[in-house]
Structures are given as structure tokens and as C-alpha cells.
Amino acid sequence: MSLREFFAQHREELLRACKSEQNVESEIEQRARELCELLDDPVGSGAADLRSGEETLFGDDPSIRHVRTSIERLARRSRSPVLFLGKVGTGKRRSARLLHACTYPDGELFELHNDEQLPLLERKLSALRVPSSARAIGGLSVYVHDLGDTSRAVQAAIARLLRERGLPCRLMASSQCPLTQAYRDGFLRSDLIFDFSSTIELPSLRERLADLPGLVKHLASRTRSPLVFSEAALATLMGHAWPGNLVELSRVVERLQRLEGVDAIEPEHLTELAQRPSGAVLKLTPSGIDLADLERQLLVQALALTDNHRTQAARLLGLTRDQIRYRLNKLELPLEERAAE
């Protein structure tokens, strides 16, 4: 049951329960949430939306069920800051959007990428400080992409928001590594390490391989002519390491959907996938290798997996941001950078 439906059904009862005419709407909302918690019915949780149509939270693996449960619990019981922790392509951004929809069904989600957005964020927060405007807005969720890769100005703004009380606002952020590691690597200011009291860890695709056949069929069914995968093709997919997780899987399915004259996907349609790195340990042969060429290949692959995001690529290779910048310059590789999750 959505929050709006609950209000419509119990509005008179809730109004009578209010102690005064002041702050009627906020008291109604609080009492509604208390009642629904007693009934174990997450108000506005959108529980159906956590499964249908959202491939990042699709599946029955215990790890992804735990993510769904955590989102439902946080949406109905807390407005605490939340950190979504996971590798590239595991669905951190989609999970943040779902948590926002569960928390503030009629509110606004503001995704913070860079310094240029800070004045707009401040205007939105100023509006929330006016009670009448805050009620009209319906709540605000602020989602910070890759917290450890943000500028010092953005981190300072986040720190100020974390210390402001009483606003109908939830702060969410994502990270590929624990915040303590981001601080040790010099990416994060120290006072943000322990401010995110709730952490939701997104599993990699390799950690939930049992869901892969269902995910593939779900992704392949979103066209007029759904793809059919043979058992052998599914076995090939199950054997891949999936370093790009759900993003990589989605792109593989999209490529297959562009094939013409193919009724069923067989292993021969997945030769490009088979040529990708599988996670096996590199072995040096008697003929030797070209180390510079290997370095170039690894950098290109890391950039491809992270949509040319230098900091994320650096982490995939166990390097710092400065180290990968040096190698990109040395090998004359492009320095394009985009936010990607």
C-alpha cells in the first residue's frame, strides 16, 4: 500500500489522532509510519517495484534479497545517510533511485556529479528550510556519485549537509571501496569516513551466478522479438568472469539483439565474450611478452569497463589516480573522463 493510499483510507482517523492543528501533515505521516511498522507494511516502499522491471534488483540469490530487504527497512524506519558499496556495474545508482522512491514517493532526487551543481543544491536545501516549501516539495534525496572521486568542494558541502538536522532530506552516496580505503588512498576527507551509518553492499554478478539465466532472459525479453538462449550458450555465459557486472551483461545482450537472422543464441554467437579476460592468472611463456603492450591492453580494458572513468580504472588495476594519469600520458591514451556506475 502506498503512503498516498494509506492517507486516503485512514485520513479522518489520523486527523482525530493529532494533538493540534499545527504540523498536521507531518504528524499524520509519522503516525501512519508507526502504524504500518506495527503491521510490518512498509509505507510507500514500492516493494513490487524492487523486483519487476529493475534488472539490478532482479533475482532470488540471498545477497540480492538482502539488498531488497535493506532498502525496504531503511525506507520505512530511518532517514540516515546511506552508502551503496560495490564494483562498477553492480547497480548502485539504480538501488539509490529505488531507495529514494521508497522514502519520498512524491519528492525529488538530486544526483550530484560535480562542483557546478553545488549552487543548485544549495537552492534546493534553502527551499527545504522553509516549512511550507518543504511540505510542497515532498522531500529531497541527494545522491553523490562515487564519493571518493568527488572534489574537496563537493565533500565540504556533503559534510555541511550531514550536520544539518531537521530537513526532510536523505543523503546517499556510492563507492567502489570502503571509505576508510578511499581516505588512505588520499581521495576522501577524514570526517566523512564514519558519517554514513548505513551501508548497503551490492553483490557482483559472479557472487550471484544462480540469477544469471533469469537476468539474461529478463534483459532479452524487452524487445518485440525476444532472444532465446540455448543451454550451451547459457553455460558459456555462466563461465565468464563478468568484471563489468550487470552493465557488461546488459551490453552483451544488446549486441546479441542486433544480430540478424538468428532465432536462438548459441556459443558461436559469444566468441567475442570468450576472448575477453576471464580472470585467469597470467603465465609467462618461454617466448616472453611485450610488457609495454600488455600495460596498454590492461589500461584500455580498465577504461572500457569503467566508461573512461580514470579513478575507477585506477582501482581496477590497483593504482592511484596519479599513477594511472602518468601511464595514460606515457602511452598517449585518451584522458576522457565520464561518471559511470
Contacts of 150 (CB under 8 A, 6+ apart): 112, 144, 158
Contacts of 95 (CB under 8 A, 6+ apart): 56, 57, 67, 71, 84, 200, 202
| 279 pLDDT tier (thresholds 50, 70, 90) | very low
Contact yes or no for 123/160 (Cβ under 8 A): no
Which residue among 274, 291, 320 closes a domain? 274
My answer on whether 109 and 7 are in the same domain is no
Per DSSP, 144 falls in state E
Mean pLDDT of the residues in the chain:
79
Which residue among 274, 303, 323 closes a domain? 274
CA distance 285 to 333: 27
Which residue among 250, 274, 298 closes a domain? 274
pLDDT > 50? residue 39: no
My answer on whether 150 and 196 are in the same domain is yes
CA distance 334 to 336: 6
Residue range 41-51: mean pLDDT, rounded: 38
205: helix, coil or strand?
A: helix
Contact yes or no for 90/246 (Cβ under 8 A): yes
Contact yes or no for 117/233 (Cβ under 8 A): no
My answer on whether 193 and 113 are in the same domain is yes
143: helix, coil or strand?
A: strand
My answer on whether 307 and 239 are in the same domain is no
My answer on whether 146 and 255 are in the same domain is no
Strands (E), 39-168: 82-85, 108-112, 140-144
CA distance 276 to 263: 25
Taking alpha carbons only, the member of 298, 340, 339, 328 closest to residue 115 is 339
My answer on whether 165 and 189 are in the same domain is yes
State if pTM tops 0.85.
Answer: no
Alpha carbon of residue 236 to chain centroid: 27
pLDDT at 86: 93
My answer on whether 9 and 81 are in the same domain is no
| 14 pLDDT tier (thresholds 50, 70, 90) | low
Residue range 209-223: mean pLDDT, rounded: 86
My answer on whether 119 and 180 are in the same domain is yes
Per DSSP, 113 falls in state -
Number of domains, the chain:
4
CATH number where 289 lies? 1.10.10
My answer on whether 106 and 182 are in the same domain is yes
My answer on whether 228 and 323 are in the same domain is no
End-to-end CA, the chain: 31
My answer on whether 78 and 139 are in the same domain is yes
My answer on whether 13 and 79 are in the same domain is no
Taking alpha carbons only, the member of 86, 88, 87 closest to residue 340 is 88
pLDDT > 60? residue 26: no
Domain boundaries, position 123: 45-203
